[in-house]
Amino acid sequence: MSATRFLISGRVQGVGYREWCRREAVARGLRGTVRNLADGSVEAVIIGEYAAVDAMLEACRSGPPAARVDAIGLDPVEMPHVDGFVILPTR
Give catalytic residue positions: 18, 36
**Residue 13 CB burial class (10 angstroms; 0-12, 13-18, ≥19):** middle
Partner residues linked to 11 by β-bridges: 68
